[in-house]
Amino acid sequence: MMTIERKSILFDILLTIITGGLWNLWVQYRQIRDSNAILPPEKQKSFILLLLFSVLTFGLYFVWHEFKLTKDLHIKVYGSDRLEIEILCGIASFFGLWFIVDSYQQSLMNEIAPN
The one-letter code for the residue type at 95 is: F
Examine residue 88 and state whether it is found in any structural domain, yes or no: yes
Examine residue 77 and state whether it is found in any structural domain, yes or no: yes
1: pLDDT strictly greater than 60: no
CA angle centred on 56, ends 28 and 84, rounded to 5°: 55
Find, among 65, 72, 71, 74, the residue nearest to 111 by Cα.
Answer: 74
The mean pLDDT of 47-58, rounded to a whole number, is: 98
Long-range CB pairs of 65-68, under 8 A, 24+ apart, other chains included: 66/90, 66/92, 66/93, 66/98, 66/101, 66/102, 66/105, 67/93
Instruction: Kindly report the number of other CB atoms within 10 A of residue 32's CB atom.
Output: 19
Examine residue 83 and state whether it is found in any structural domain, yes or no: yes
The mean pLDDT of 18-44, rounded to a whole number, is: 96
**Residue 99: which H helix or E strand, with range?**
helix 98-112
b/e map 66-88, b = 16+ CB within 10 Å: bbebbbbbbebbeeeebeeebeb
Q: pTM of the predicted model, to two decimals?
A: 0.94
The mean pLDDT of 37-47, rounded to a whole number, is: 96
For 39, phi then psi, to 5°, come to -95, 155
What is the band of 21 on the pLDDT scale with cuts at 50, 70, 90? very high
- Count of structural domains within the chain: 1
Give the pLDDT confidence score for residue 3 in this predicted structure: 81
Examine residue 2 and state whether it is found in any structural domain, yes or no: no
Give the domain range for residue 85: 9-112
pLDDT in tens, 72-98: 999 999 999 999 999 999 999 999 999
Give the pLDDT confidence score for residue 11 in this predicted structure: 97
